[in-house]
Amino acid sequence: METLSNSNLASTDNADLILLTGATGYIGGNLLRALERRGCQVRCMARRPDHLKPRVAATIEVVQADVLERTSLDAALQGVKTAYYLIHSMGSKSAFEDNDRRAAENFVDAAKQAGIERIIYVGGLGDQNESLSAHLNSRQEVGRILRDSGIPTLEFRASVVIGAGSLSFELIRSLVEKLPLMITPKWVSVTAQPICIDDLVAYLIAAMSISSAESRVVEVGGADQVSYEEIMRAYARCRNKRIWMIRVPFLTPYLSSLWLGLVTPVYARIGRKLIESIVHSTVVLDQSARQLFDIEPVGIEEAIKRTLDDEDKTIAITRWSDALSSSRDLPDWSTTHFGRRFIDSRSTQVNVSPAAAFQPIQRIGGETGWYAFNFLWRLRGFLDLLVGGIGMRRGRTHLSDLRVGDTVDFWRVEAYEPNRLLRLQAEMKVSGRAWLQFEVTPSDDGVTISQTALFDPLGLTGRLYWYFLTPVHQIVFTRMLRKIAEAAIKGSND
């Protein structure tokens, strides 16, 4: 393998077509913004392009493809020179190792056929001589598949990523903010080397300019090697908070994941995989990144300060929960037989403009709440958590702005037309498919606000679920619509 140095840097032609996979994920979303700012020609590959298109500039091409469906990749990779492979399945409920392996093999086969010249991948730090977790093993196996393809592949291996909206940062924030006194397991003493999202994106951008016919692994991290306890204490110092920790030996990864699912936004299954990885030290052992790149990563406190400062100025560009795999596997309903659709619809007339009527609708969920019986919505979220669902922990990205694909508590935006339509699809545990839709239509006396709950039951269980909740829907949805109308009138008069 040849040795690279800054003298190996080649000029980057912004006209070269770049393929970005994982653009709906946290790292991919931040990288996409950086590529946009550089004026690069970018094609994003997504399973659901309609979720991504509202998030990107008009100059960004978005195509439909799925790495688990080999034939879908050919058109997406056509004409591409550099491909960022930022895909993994940690959030899925199925055997993510098998999915990740098959996805990488499909991608490599399509990339060779398309004549791709370079692959850039982000994996996880971890000593290969240790018995790594299934998650870290899978990340490193994917890297080997990409490197063995014959296509020059630069595999970055990183530890904890610190940035506004990142999974690791949200976990740390929730623990410190909600639990000033913590009963902590042994894994809080494990050493990591956190990297600021800005620095990781800088490495990914610089990787395009490295000229090499060889594949290699580059380990990257921040300036500090710290334990997870020290990361939490660094966050507490930045927030002027005091925390106390009592360490106990009996919190297993499984118990810790359930506990995290109750007090943080991390779902239990993701928490378990995350903690299984946390029990291994993830620090940089190979210092070649310092010779390859002219980048000086910041330390943990500076990374946290930047993150908090970014959140004060604006919302997070993207969040880990924006990725569809963070909610649950995308269900394949093509061969499923549902019972007849249940519909619960109501409407009201309001003498306001469409914009005024839609304003409370587009603010629904998150900090605003659901306008009626919020304690019942929180109870539904808690019950969802108990059965391994996502609960109400995700909130929403922005107080008033929405885009297709955004999360709103245990819903996801499926359709959005400003001042006219909002349709949410349920992602909580439920025996069937469920939607909640709001429409605003002009009328002679202002507008009509329509609210509709739709449910496709799955078997007898789904039917019983709907029948059981029908009286609750009558009370909750009726009052919700009335409160939305009142908020519209109040907003119009202010």
Instruction: Decide: 46 and 323 in contact? Cβ < 8 Å.
Output: no
With a cut of 50, say whether residue 117 has pLDDT above it. yes
With a cut of 80, say whether residue 156 has pLDDT above it. yes
Identify the residue with better confidence: 168 or 366: 366
With a cut of 80, say whether residue 86 has pLDDT above it. yes
pLDDT band at 20 (very low <50, low <70, confident <90, very high): very high
pLDDT (mean) for 156-179: 84
How many angstroms separate the CA atoms of 382 and 68, rounded? 33
List beta partners, residue 350: 447
What are the φ/ψ torsions at residue 154 (nearest 5 degrees)? Answer: -105, 110
With a cut of 80, say whether residue 11 has pLDDT above it. no
pLDDT (mean) for 84-106: 80
pLDDT (mean) for 305-331: 57
Burial grade of 478 (CB within 10 A; 0-12, 13-18, 19 or more)? middle
Of all residues in the chain, what percent carry a pLDDT higher than 70?
Answer: 83
Strand, helix or coil at 398?
Answer: coil
pLDDT score of 172: 82
Strand order in 216-219's β-sheet?
61-64, 41-46, 17-21, 82-85, 118-124, 153-158, 216-219
Strand, helix or coil at 467?
Answer: helix
Model pLDDT for residues 408-452, shown as the tens digit of each residue: 988 999 888 899 899 999 988 888 889 999 999 888 788 999 998
State the virtual CA torsion across 141, 147, 153, 155 in degrees, nearest 10. 30
pLDDT score of 305: 92
Quickly count: other Cβ atoms within 10 Å of residue 188's Cβ: 19
pLDDT score of 40: 92
pLDDT score of 466: 87
pLDDT score of 340: 66
Nearest CA to 114 among 149, 142, 155, 144? 149
pLDDT score of 282: 87
With a cut of 80, say whether residue 99 has pLDDT above it. yes
pLDDT band at 73 (very low <50, low <70, confident <90, very high): very high
Amino acid making up residue 324: L
Quickly count: other Cβ atoms within 10 Å of residue 123's Cβ: 22
pLDDT score of 249: 72
Identify the residue with better confidence: 334 or 245: 245
pLDDT score of 397: 77
Instruction: Decide: 163 and 198 in contact? Cβ < 8 Å.
Output: yes
Strand, helix or coil at 310?
Answer: helix
pLDDT score of 312: 54
> And the tokens for 53?
């298109």
With a cut of 90, say whether residue 165 has pLDDT above it. no
- In which region does residue 245 sit, left (phi positive, over 0), alpha (psi from -120 to 50) or beta (all else)? beta
With a cut of 50, say whether residue 377 has pLDDT above it. yes
pLDDT (mean) for 158-164: 89
Model pLDDT for residues 264-275, shown as the tens digit of each residue: 655 545 555 566
Mean pLDDT for the chain overall? 83
CATH of 342-493, one of 3.10.20.600, 3.30.1360.230, 3.30.530.20, 3.20.20.70: 3.30.530.20
How many angstroms separate the CA atoms of 291 and 426, rounded? 49
> And the tokens for 2?
């040849």
pLDDT score of 2: 38
pLDDT score of 174: 76
The residues, any chain, with a CB within 8 Å of residue 369's CB and separated by 6 or more, are 377
Nearest CA to 138 among 170, 96, 195, 181? 96
With a cut of 50, say whether residue 333 has pLDDT above it. no
Of all residues in the chain, what percent carry a pLDDT higher than 90?
Answer: 43
Instruction: Decide: 426 and 409 in contact? Cβ < 8 Å.
Output: no
Identify the residue with better confidence: 309 or 286: 286
Same fold, 6-325 and 342-493: no
Instruction: Give the start-end residues of each E strand in 49-113.
Output: 61-64, 82-85
With a cut of 80, say whether residue 4 has pLDDT above it. no
pLDDT (mean) for 351-359: 93
With a cut of 60, say whether residue 328 has pLDDT above it. no
pLDDT band at 157 (very low <50, low <70, confident <90, very high): very high
CA distance to 162, 172, 203, 291, per residue, from 301 (Å): 10, 13, 20, 25
Instruction: Decide: 36 and 59 in contact? Cβ < 8 Å.
Output: yes
Q: Within the chain, what is the greatest distance between any pair of CA atoms?
A: 75
User: Is the pTM here over 0.85, yes or no?
Assistant: no
Quickly count: other Cβ atoms within 10 Å of residue 13's Cβ: 10
pLDDT band at 170 (very low <50, low <70, confident <90, very high): confident
How many angstroms separate the CA atoms of 155 and 134, rounded? 19
- Structural fold of domain 6-325: Rossmann fold (3.40.50)
The residues, any chain, with a CB within 8 Å of residue 215's CB and separated by 6 or more, are 1, 146, 147, 151, 152, 153, 154, 155
All structural domains of the chain with their residue ranges = 6-325, 342-493
pLDDT score of 161: 92
Model pLDDT for residues 203-233, shown as the tens digit of each residue: 999 999 887 778 999 999 999 999 989 999 9
**Runs of H (alpha helix) within 179-227:** 197-207
